[in-house]
Amino acid sequence: MKKLLWIGVGMAVFFSLSGSGLCGPAGSLDLTFNPGTGPDGVVDAVALQPDGKILIGGYFTKVNNINRVQVARLNSDGSVDPTFDPGDGPNGEVDSFALQTDGQILIGGSFVVVDGLRRPSIARLRADGSLDATLNTDAGLSAGLISCVAVQTNGQILATGNLTAFFNNLSHAGIARFNTDGSVDTSFDPGTGADSPIYAMAIQPDGKILAGGGFASFNGTNRSCLVRLNPDGSIDTGFNPNPLVPSTSGIKCLAVQTNGQVLIGGIFVSLNGYTRHNLARLNADGSLDLGFNSPAAAAASDVEQMVLQSDGKILAVGFQSGTSNNIFRLNGDGSLDAGFTPVAVRINALQVKKLLLQSDGKLLAGGGFNGINGTNINNIARLNVDNPVSTTLNLLHPQTYFGMNLSGVVSNVYRIESTSIVNTQSLWTPLFNVTLQTNPQFILDTNPAVGQRFYRAVSLP
């Protein structure tokens, strides 16, 4: 039997854990999701597969120290899925996903090559991450960035961004539709298109298409930052939200409610002559819903992304200068929901850029960050939205060893975390998971830090 000796370079803490259930209130970090060191760069796109696995895209080369270039798939617990490997991947950023019913995956972004083959801005991956070479838009597309990609019910592909599509000796800017082989669909004709890039897109149940961005006109018609198109690409003249007054980039995100109303977010100052900062709701004809107003969105410098809950509440991302709290929840009238703790995001490169609500009510967040609510986590995280049961941690006497006794429930799984500062707003880093075989059980930190280190355990399901 080996003895555990103090070698003078750290401190462990013996602890016990009482209670059952998971972490904390709505807005707290979901500790059952552990991506390890996470992506080594920004996450710009997140998608959820029907089997619960999570696609992430952006500008990174590794995920938890495993080679995954710009795109990866995670298991539901945050670990890297080894069955999905894009090889050399795209040579530029991935900004959007769309899932086909056959399990294949469309990606859009600012890349030119995917796994060694030329596929500018749009590509299709098989379920295992390899490139599907049968989709090729190169002949009819010139694009600097595809910001949104979507699959229609007939399998055709809609794409928006900083793009120009070519056919019949004409060019169409901002939006295009492609057949399943990547050829341009000539039956979709938006005319000259948008005079500036399109950043956001949503398809209504009736097949009409909402497009938002920084443009002033669409096909020569005044449409400030927002237009609705008929399924053939022509402007729907029955929808006119003008004038919308942008302060810089205009509309960044869109969401269609079940009653046909449309939420718009971005950077703007007024709509239809009414002051509305960064977030507004429109009626089905494009007129402003005067009953919706959000001071919380006005306090942010922008609204980057939003998702709708089934109860009508709105989860939104907005960067607020001088504070790290940039995920908040609104009630149906736009007022701040006091039952949701604003999420403290420690920014590394950019703010949280993407939100995705899972069917179980938990919220995936991707972006450029290295901490949430005091816990070190890089660029992808999952949050609780509904209030789970909290656990209680009782710290016992510190000892000068690198081992510890964990008291809990046999067969339960616990995550061990550490910090160097315990009496302030500490930053806890996940270390490893352990399944309790005996109670108590002696466990060892095999990679201790130099200096003082404190430990805690969190019960996982």
Is there a domain that residue 6 lies in?
no
Query: Where would I find the beta strands (DSSP E) of 168-304?
Result: 170-178, 198-203, 209-213, 217-218, 221-222, 226-229, 244-256, 262-271, 274-275, 279-282
- The predicted-structure confidence for 247-263, as pLDDT tens digits, reads as follows 666 899 999 999 999 99
Q: What is the DSSP letter of 181?
A: T
Please report, for residues 59, 311, 451, the alpha-carbon distance to residue 35 in angstroms, rounded to integers and kept in the order given. 17, 29, 26
Q: Is 50 exceeded by the pLDDT of residue 186?
A: yes
Within this chain, do residues 183 and 232 fall inside the same structural domain, yes or no? yes
Is there a domain that residue 19 lies in?
no
Within this chain, do residues 111 and 142 fall inside the same structural domain, yes or no? yes
Q: Is 60 exceeded by the pLDDT of residue 426?
A: no
Within this chain, do residues 200 and 62 fall inside the same structural domain, yes or no? yes
Task: Give the residue among 449, 402, 437 at the shortest CA–CA distance from 5.
Answer: 402
Within this chain, do residues 225 and 369 fall inside the same structural domain, yes or no? yes
Within this chain, do residues 372 and 432 fall inside the same structural domain, yes or no? no
The stretch 319-339 carries a mean pLDDT of 78
Q: Write down the pLDDT at residue 450.
A: 55
- Identify whether the C-beta of residue 268 lies closer than 8 Å to the C-beta of residue 250: yes
Print the domain residue range for 64.
30-383
Within this chain, do residues 279 and 363 fall inside the same structural domain, yes or no? yes
Out of 383, 402, 428, pick the residue that ends a domain: 383
Share of the chain above pLDDT 70, in %: 82
Residues in the chain: 461
Domain of 55, CATH number, reads: 2.130.10.10
> Which of 55-59, 168-172, 333-337 bottoms out in mean pLDDT, i.e. has the lowest?
168-172
Within this chain, do residues 34 and 136 fall inside the same structural domain, yes or no? yes
Out of 366, 383, 400, pick the residue that ends a domain: 383
Q: Is 90 exceeded by the pLDDT of residue 442?
A: no
Q: DSSP 3-state assignment of 216? A: coil
Is there a domain that residue 424 lies in?
yes
Within this chain, do residues 51 and 166 fall inside the same structural domain, yes or no? yes
Within this chain, do residues 419 and 315 fall inside the same structural domain, yes or no? no
- The predicted-structure confidence for 372-404, as pLDDT tens digits, reads as follows 877 888 999 999 887 443 333 333 333 334 566
Task: Give the residue among 324, 381, 387, 328 at the shortest CA–CA distance from 356.
Answer: 381
Within this chain, do residues 328 and 352 fall inside the same structural domain, yes or no? yes
Within this chain, do residues 241 and 284 fall inside the same structural domain, yes or no? yes
Within this chain, do residues 329 and 454 fall inside the same structural domain, yes or no? no
Out of 355, 383, 411, pick the residue that ends a domain: 383
The span from the CA of 442 to the CA of 407, in Å, is 9
Q: Name which residue leads in pLDDT, 432 or 307.
A: 307
The span from the CA of 303 to the CA of 265, in Å, is 5
Partners of 66 in beta bridges: 63
Report which secondary-structure segment, H or E, holds 62.
strand 62-63
Number of domains present in the structure of the chain: 2
Q: Is 50 exceeded by the pLDDT of residue 231?
A: yes
